[in-house]
Amino acid sequence: MEKIINRRYQILEKVREERVFSLYLAYCQVRKQIVRLKLLRSPLSLDLRFVEELNRALQRIANLSHPNLMKVLDFGEEMGTFFVVEEYEEGEYLDKKIKQGIFPPERALSIILQVAEGLQYLEGNNLIHGQLRPESIWITKGGRVKITDLSLPSLGKEEMLSRADTYYSPPEEIRVGEAAKSSDIYSLGGIFFELLVGERPLTSKSFRPSLPKDLERIVLKMREKNIVKRYSRILDVLIDLKAYQKEAGMEKVEKEKEEEPIRREREVFVPRLEKEKITLTRRRKADRTLKGCLLIFLPFLVVAGLFSFLVYRFLIPLKDVAVPDVCGKSVSEAEYLLEESRLRHRIISKEYSLDVPLDHVIRQMPFAGKTVKEKKVIQLVISEGQEEAIVPDLRGLSLSEAKLSLEEAKLTLGQKSYQPSDSIPKGNVADQIPLPQTTVSRGTKVNLKLSSGPEKILIEIPDLKDSSLFLAREALVKDKLRLKEIRREPSSTVPSGRVIGQEPSAGSKVEEGAEVTLVVSSGKKEEERKEREGREEVKIRKEIKKAEVSIVIPPGDKSQKVKIVVIDDQGVRTAYEKFHQPEEKVEVLIEGVGKTTVQVYISGELVKEEKL
């Protein structure tokens, strides 16, 4: 195949079809090396949204670099075909190796540890893989593990899940179509199970009897369907796996050729080429010869090894060293200090701690400063951070019920305050901080806002002075206030029946429904009243003006109403109002006090106005 992509990648051969890409080996004419060339399959290459999301995902991972991640060298689009270029090292995918047989625990552990190292690097960059499968794990000829398909977790889950099996997918991904932070751990546990058992996780639930129970427990915790009980961080998986590796005395397998999978008896290897048959036959003969030699020399090797151990153990004494203080140190720092002192360590347990940060040493045995021999195992207790708790919903509960709920959740009561509430009974919890279902550390204080009952509405008392009693009553009713009593007092300045005082005073703020007392003028005292009335009567007599008003009713068919209005110092009043026949002459004597104006209306129309 002579096709060249992007004027630099010459396709050499097709490797296989994947769920999303077609994988080829290609020669980069710029780098002068062989690379992995992945071309987006045609159904997906037509989906513009899919291609756009893939492009964004690749931009996020383009600068990632880790020994256990397949490095992305280039990506782009040419003639409607989207391509991804990755580094290439000779090897094969893990799914192909799994078909060859069951892996020994030490070899399976080596592979899983390398995958976990790559996942921890992703986690440190706030990324998840989301599609971890045996077919996304590449094993180089030198035994190095490299994770591929790093760009796929950002793609639409509907497209991905429709093409992938669910053997390795966690329940939350199948249920909502989105991978969580610990989803990669679940998938890695499924791959670990398959390496150890030889069957996919959903087709078999039991381990081989010969497998160590400690290893089973780690795998089961990785495969825990309940996300709360599962490992929450890949770092915790690494710590437990490395601790088991040391306790079991397993040597780290660095090269693929050091361990071969255990062949299944029921599998038959069917070669494709005659040349491969000859090579396989020769290899088996060489293996039988090597095994025969090993059986002959093995006893001698065992005796020699035992002798060397005894000489080293008893004739070359170990030096005394002081145990360094690693309490409060991070796990990695503690490991470095102990190794520097030629000591070993073992994590014996993990505990929650209010004072010691996550993944730091709480206690050590032996204690710091004690003199021990080199190679001594120092036991460490590691902090899991502050124990978490879920804040219960306390709203609507009484204070005693809220205290009990906080005790059950291992939380403490914080500050109490009050706020009005129309729906929560007085004294019960109206609100809380932190809010319900918030994840906090054990012992966290929860502040409560208790209900003080319905909010009290304060009303400003209006100024009722100089108002008539009728208007004052109306104003009180309008402002939802009640009239308590009316007291009458004489006043030389305010006319009788008008308000001269009030309790509480105007401007005071009271609750809705408060009572108000009014002080109403009863007028001047009797002597003053009589004297004033006498003076007014004399004055009126002196100022009375009289005049005769004469008018003729206009002609017509009907009687018409005549109305005479007088406007003087006493006010406005109607002095005359009667019906008269057409053309009838009407004469009326009119009196007025002070300045007087007379208005004559016929049938409602002003026909005459004069001043007396």
Write out pLDDT tens, residues 250-264: 754 444 444 444 444
Of 86, 108, 123, the position where a domain reaches its end is 86
- Helix (H) or strand (E) segment spanning residue 433: strand 429-433
Are 378 and 337 within 8 A, CB to CB?
no
CATH classification at residue 198: 1.10.510.10
Q: Are residues 446 and 377 in the same domain?
A: no
Q: Show the tokens assigned to 271.
A: 């070669």
Q: Are residues 408 and 493 in the same domain?
A: no
CATH classification at residue 354: 3.30.10.20
216 is a domain residue? yes
What distance in Å separates the CA atoms of residue 171 and residue 193, rounded to the nearest whole number? 17
Are 320 and 371 within 8 A, CB to CB?
yes
Q: Is the pLDDT of residue 276 over 80?
A: no
513 is a domain residue? yes
Q: Is the pLDDT of residue 465 over 70?
A: yes
Q: Is the pLDDT of residue 269 over 60?
A: no
What distance in Å separates the CA atoms of residue 147 and residue 150, rounded to the nearest whole number? 7
537 is a domain residue? no
Residue 557 has what pLDDT? 83
Sequence-ordered list of residues with C-beta below 8 angstroms from that of 115, at least 6 positions apart, any chain = 68, 132, 137, 145, 147, 188, 191
Q: Are residues 244 and 300 in the same domain?
A: no
The helices-and-strands tally (H runs, E runs) of the chain is 14, 30
Q: Are residues 134 and 254 in the same domain?
A: yes
Average pLDDT for residues 204-223, to the nearest whole number?
A: 82
Max avg pLDDT among 79-83, 201-205, 233-237: 233-237
Residue 158 has what pLDDT? 47
Q: Is the pLDDT of residue 8 over 70?
A: yes
Q: Show the tokens assigned to 563.
A: 């109305």
35 is a domain residue? yes
539 is a domain residue? no
Q: Show the tokens assigned to 76.
A: 């782009």
100 vs 94, 194, 272, 282, 320, CA distance in Å?
10, 12, 16, 19, 49
Q: Are residues 438 and 421 in the same domain?
A: yes
Q: Are residues 51 and 108 in the same domain?
A: no
Closest by CA to 98, choosing from 139, 50, 130, 65, is 139
pLDDT per position as a tens digit, 112-160: 999 999 999 998 888 888 889 999 999 999 899 999 988 664 444 444 4
Q: Are residues 418 and 371 in the same domain?
A: no
266 is a domain residue? no
Q: Helix axis angle, 213-222 relative to 183-197, nearest 10°?
A: 140
Of 220, 236, 258, the position where a domain reaches its end is 258
Average pLDDT for residues 394-408, to the nearest whole number?
A: 93
What distance in Å separates the CA atoms of residue 499 and residue 488, rounded to the nearest whole number? 9
pLDDT per position as a tens digit, 500-546: 999 999 999 988 889 999 999 988 776 566 767 766 666 666 577 88
pLDDT per position as a tens digit, 329-375: 988 889 989 998 999 999 998 888 878 888 899 999 999 999 999 99
Confidence of residue 67 (pLDDT cuts 50, 70, 90): very high
Q: Are residues 202 and 301 in the same domain?
A: no
Tracing tokens 């347990």 back to the chain, one arrives at 349
- The domain in which residue 570 lies consists of 544-611
Average pLDDT for residues 409-420, to the nearest whole number?
A: 92
CATH classification at residue 600: 2.60.40.2560
Q: How many domains does the chain have?
A: 7
27 is a domain residue? yes
Are 361 and 331 within 8 A, CB to CB?
yes
User: Among the listed ranges 1-5, 101-105, 376-380, 395-399, which one has the minimum average pLDDT value?
Assistant: 1-5
More confident call, 123 vs 318: 123
535 is a domain residue? no
Residue 131: Cβ within 10 Å count: 28
